[in-house]
Chains A and B, each alone.
Chain A
């Protein structure tokens, strides 16, 4: 069995990559992909922790399955919003879309 440390380290790395992408990319689609990476990192964490410490490892897997479903729905909603934004503004760059002047 893989040690918890390894899995948690991997999940943290994944989360960090996702966070970096979320902060760095200006395209809405890229930001969404990064978000999905972070979500995946969270899912891995849940599975890893429940399998090591939890009384019933299946609970973790169930939660993650639900998470994947929710993520898919969320991605669908987000993408459709992006499409709508692109239709009206012909752009999905968040900086150019910004209307607030600091």
Chain B
């Protein structure tokens, strides 16, 4: 099998499975789930093959065919691009999807939309694979939108409830704001270059020197808008916390390997292109620094475990962007991979707690006590440790790489923000663990173990535990891959070896330890007040808990303005345009009424008019003759 065929099949099989499930298997949940899992498993195998086929740095296997005729040139050419970056990313996508699907067998058991769920999940994976393997920027945009569509449908999976429906709507429209910029940027590039092959863009072949720096800056900024929307960065982040309304496994997928990772992937994919616009990269660096810290502050006060994780996603994605902006694809992508692992782990583990307690609130979960089996607790602790950057969990290595990539060139303010963010991360990660796991039963524990003994429930528990344990093991393994990854992506750029302890890592470790210690003092130790230092200041707490009031700002400005314009246009349509038309019509009718008075059937009247006209006409004739 050739890599090209494998890459096409890897996309087509989940797509076909998803379509088949949605069209034909909606009434057969068990076979739908089986089909989806088999399809993604096959796809996973194929992507594994791709990784081995494109293991050497600098490999790029491309197969394309013309897709859309354009005014000039060969038109748009679509195809697949297999290189280390895309193959590893696609492996991440398929493996996380596979684990999430297995987990969902248990988590979603008995849901009304079971089959639909698996169908949509397959489509989601297929769309993300299409995005990852695209060889053309417009093709990437196509799948980019499809990823957005799939996540819209999955966030709004429980569409009867008002919460998910509103969240899905918000997510789709907000990411669209970014996508409009993306589309405009791609169209500008097409206008300038004819075709937008990713390889040509990255290698700067064919356009180096011919495009003005101003143009490059503008296009890069526009493309970045798309990435920011998708990855919930900067001012466009507010949809992601709300997207928690979807089923927890969907959140796991959405936050780790698919939806939000797409933005990071885009910037990593086009890094060679973005490098031509240093001012945009500089802007990106600062935007991600601010986003990282801002999201961390929001995570510090969230009560809902999924919201904590959502804010942590925003914050960690910002770290990835930071590395990319600083010029290190290797570090950014490394963090993307480790984050995919531990974030999926965190969500899946949190899902078990939520499943058990039927609540998202961390304090509520703690009240309900631990679910049976240790998998969830271990998963949560391992994931949180990775998130906090504790050695030897994967997050430590990748965050180290990110912080190292910043280097002294970034300036001390940037470094303070980046390391400060790391401290806050450790703090809220530990806070989450302590709040969730320190068992403070208030309700009597009598309803605990007795009522979950059926075979199906046991099977469901097992299904949910397996992926958690696997991912937990991965957090211990993934970190050691850093060096080899860095070699594949940034040949020539040295990334610090895994266990090389210098001032930077020591500082980061120290900050992480300090964060955890602070969290322990406030939440963990026996007799702790379980109130954080931020929560003691109500104004600050409210500010953080309400997304820095950005939602309200948008509602008061953009949403309001759009609604007002809409009402204005509608009023104009009904009153001015239709009003004018109706007035003309009514005037015609009135005029007809008036004129019809002389049309009264009186012969004498008619005769009088005829005679008058004739006489007038005769006079006119004679006058004309006289004038001649």
Does B501 have its Cβ within 8 Å of any Cβ on chain A? no
Report the minimum CB–CB distance from B595 to chain A (whole Å). Answer: 9
Most B CB within 10 A of own CB, among A26, A95, A98, A102: A102
Report the minimum CB–CB distance from A8 to chain B (whole Å). Answer: 15
Q: How many residues of B contact A (CB 8 A)?
A: 12
Q: How many residues of A contact B (CB 8 A)?
A: 12
Q: Which residues of A have CB within 8 Å of B601?
A: 98-100, 102
Report the minimum CB–CB distance from B602 to chain A (whole Å). Answer: 6
Does B597 have its Cβ within 8 Å of any Cβ on chain A? yes
Does A23 have its Cβ within 8 Å of any Cβ on chain B? yes
Report the minimum CB–CB distance from B1 to chain A (whole Å). Answer: 89
* A23 and B607 contacting across the interface, CB-CB below 8 Å: yes
* B604 and A98 contacting across the interface, CB-CB below 8 Å: no
* B608 and A98 contacting across the interface, CB-CB below 8 Å: no
**Residue A102 contacts which of B599, B604, B607, B608 (CB distance < 8 angstroms)?**
B599
Does A22 have its Cβ within 8 Å of any Cβ on chain B? yes
Produce 1/0 per residue, B586-613, CB < 8 A to A: 0000000000111111111001100100
**Complex Cα–Cα for A19 and B615 (A):** 13
Find the A residue at minimum CB distance from B598. A102
Q: Which residues of B have CB within 8 Å of A102?
A: 596-601
* B604 and A94 contacting across the interface, CB-CB below 8 Å: yes
**Complex Cα–Cα for A14 and B596 (A):** 33
Q: Which residues of B have CB within 8 Å of A94?
A: 602-604
Produce 1/0 per residue, A17-48, CB < 8 A to B: 00100110010000100000000000000000
Q: Which residues of A contact B (CB under 8 A)?
A: 19, 22-23, 26, 31, 94-95, 98-102
Report the minimum CB–CB distance from A2 to chain B (whole Å). Answer: 25
* B600 and A19 contacting across the interface, CB-CB below 8 Å: no
* B604 and A22 contacting across the interface, CB-CB below 8 Å: yes
Could you pull out 27 A-B pairs where Cβ atoms are within 8 angstroms?
A19-B611, A22-B604, A22-B607, A23-B604, A23-B607, A23-B608, A23-B611, A26-B604, A31-B604, A94-B602, A94-B603, A94-B604, A95-B602, A98-B600, A98-B601, A98-B602, A99-B601, A100-B599, A100-B600, A100-B601, A101-B600, A102-B596, A102-B597, A102-B598, A102-B599, A102-B600, A102-B601
Report the minimum CB–CB distance from A13 to chain B (whole Å). Answer: 15
Report the minimum CB–CB distance from A50 to chain B (whole Å). Answer: 23
**Complex Cα–Cα for A101 and B602 (A):** 10
Q: Which residues of B have CB within 8 Å of A101?
A: 600
Report the minimum CB–CB distance from A101 to chain B (whole Å). Answer: 7
**Complex Cα–Cα for A102 and B595 (A):** 8
Closest 6 CB pairs of A and B: A100-B601, A102-B600, A102-B597, A23-B608, A98-B601, A102-B596
**Complex Cα–Cα for A83 and B548 (A):** 98
Q: Which residues of A have CB within 8 Å of B597?
A: 102
Q: Which residues of B have CB within 8 Å of A95?
A: 602
| Given A22-B607, A94-B602, 9 extra CB contacts under 8 A | A22-B604, A23-B608, A23-B611, A94-B604, A98-B600, A98-B601, A100-B601, A102-B599, A102-B600
